[in-house]
Amino acid sequence: MKNIRNFCIIAHIDHGKSTLADRLLDFTGSVTDREKQEQLLDSMDLERERGITIKSHAIQMNYTYKGEEYILNLIDTPGHVDFSYEVSRSIAACEGALLIVDAAQSIQAQTISNLYLALENDLEIIPVLNKIDLPSANPEVVTDDIVELLGCNKSDIIPASAKTGIGIEEILSAIIERIPAPTGKPDAPLRALVFDSVYNPFRGVETYFRVFNGSIKKGQQIKFVATDKNYFADEVGTLRLKQFPRQEIKAGDVGYLITGIKDAREVKVGDTITDAKNPTTEAVSGFEDVKPMVFAGIYPVDTEEFEDLRSSMEKLQLNDASLVFVPESSAALGFGFRCGFLGMLHLEIIQERLEREFDMTVITTVPNVSYHAFTHKNPDQAILVNNPTDLPEPSSLARVEEPFIKASIITKSDFVGSVMSLCIEKRGQITNQTYLTPERVELNFDMPLAEIVFDFYDRLKTVSKGYASFDYSPIGMRASKLVKVDILLNGSVVDALSALLHVDNAYDIGKKMCEKLRQLIPRQQFDIPIQAAIGAKIISRETVKALRKDVTAKCYGGDISRKRKLLEKQKKGKKRMRLVGNVEIPQEAFMAVLKLND
């Protein structure tokens, strides 16, 4: 066990995490020349295109240092804020972490939040200053920033360039010398942490785990503590680029397990694996079910494709157990699903994967978060509201609580004013403001999650000219004055456009929605009123004017009464048409609601 090192890499998006992992694999000879490619651990096309890690990966490397053979387990972590629970489980499986900071961009919000996660788990931190070969790099200033953040010595920071391979040998020797070897009891009952799982269509769910105590053998009967289910370990082994089956994985090591589970929901990240006959008394702490934060309706463009959409969603769920969905129907869009996502990036990725992998073109409704509603009848019992249409009648409603987040924004000092006014417009309350350097400021806000769901991130990048980095963590529910704004077309409610909004913003947003829809809804032979309403009270109205057919064109001169008779007849026809007329809503209208500020 003394020759094993388990470590992860923490960094902000685009600070060179995947490239550094590539160089480590090259240097330790873990990949052959034939297998080499850029971002080797990012296996999805989407990850390569966007340059982000969506699914974390683990890989084992062998390295000889001062004549001794060491096993290095790199447990990769996704960088984006939506996947912070997965990051926390990966960190719990390690003893050390490489903290990578870009020499051109300095410390960003996400680096700090993941660093705090690592420090909470008592990890040994090795700071790495990456991209020192860039012309825009500013190593001296960024080194001072890191020293201030970590309280370490300048000599502890390793200057490196993952692209050119500078400093890779120093990083490997630091991993071996500074990161402690794993501790564990080889003779105690089996206790292992599940930090990830991947779905293989031929073999079922492959579970990635780290053994803390005992060992796991091929053919052993094991038990998952959280789901309380027993399985046989059909195959255990270590993770290289390909899987290497072994007879036994001992304490301190990382490996994979195949049990033939066909449903990804049965394997939960953060769960504890133990022996079915001789179980451990203490499970690995920190397990929680992943809670969706953002909800949206996903509907097929053609209602006949509903069953195809269902099977596509089920297949996606095998790969991504954090996707939650239930069937729902809408008067405007027909049958579809109400889906729960970890955040907006997760929603975008699921939508993109549906289109790419399953050829499904879908309509996504306005995303919203889940609220707690309390009625006068049961003031202590919370009703979970994931869809604005589920909100109880205003007369029976006592209060509504919405989820709040603690947002941390790091930006240049020039943009403090514009970032603050954006956050205050989004109902944020500033809690702290610290100058990390004379040039860089960290701002902390308490904000409602619903306000950052739409366009907050895009607008933050706009007001700060791309210099702001943003990170958040949930801080629980708080009571708010929320109202349900309905959109009525021709007098009937379009349920897919309903939204729960704060009282102060309801009038403005209702007005903007009506104006936007007026531009997008095609004209008919009759007037179409577009109204925004809170309960029975109309707060805004726009009208799409009728296309008027010229019925008097055939009258050349003659008596006025003939023309009047034709116009009266047309008026009656329009009235009847308006009563029975149906208004088709174009797909762009649902998307336009998300971009009200454009």
Tell me: the pLDDT tens digits for 158-204? 777 777 778 788 888 888 888 888 887 878 888 888 877 777 778 88
Is the separation of the CB atoms in 54 and 168 below 8 Å? no
Tell me: the pLDDT tens digits for 195-245? 777 777 788 888 888 888 888 888 888 888 877 888 888 888 887 767 778
Beta bridge partners of 388: none
pLDDT at 598 over 60: no
- Closest by CA to 43, choosing from 56, 32, 34, is 56
Model-level pTM greater than 0.75? no
Residue 56 is predicted with a pLDDT of 56
CA distance 128 to 112: 14
Q: At what angle do helices 109-120 and 139-150 cross, to 10 degrees?
A: 40
Residue numbers in the known binding site for GTP are 14-19, 130-133
Domains of the chain: 4-178 (3.40.50.300), 191-275 (2.40.30.10), 294-365 (3.30.70.870), 371-480 (3.30.70.240), 484-594 (3.30.70.2570)
Three-state DSSP at 586 gives coil
36-40, 366-370, 479-483, 558-562 — most confident range: 479-483
Is the separation of the CB atoms in 139 and 133 below 8 Å? no
Tell me: the pLDDT tens digits for 308-351? 888 888 877 766 767 788 888 876 677 888 888 877 777 878 88
pLDDT at 448 over 70: yes
Tell me: the pLDDT tens digits for 355-385? 888 888 888 877 778 788 888 888 888 888 8
CA distance 416 to 439: 11
Provide the token pair at 180. 């402690």
CA distance 246 to 258: 12
Q: How far is CA 286 from CA 90, 194, 289, 341, 424, in A?
A: 12, 12, 10, 21, 34
Is the separation of the CB atoms in 227 and 303 below 8 Å? no
Question: What confidence tier does 138 reach under pLDDT thresholds 50, 70, 90?
Answer: confident
CA distance 257 to 237: 7
Question: What confidence tier does 42 reach under pLDDT thresholds 50, 70, 90?
Answer: very low
Tell me: the pLDDT tens digits for 102-134? 777 777 766 777 777 778 778 888 888 887 777
Phi, psi at 492, each rounded to 5°: -115, 140
When the pLDDT of each residue in the chain is averaged and rounded to a whole number, the result is 78
Three-state DSSP at 526 gives coil
Among 41-50, 217-226, 257-266, 576-585, the least confident range: 41-50
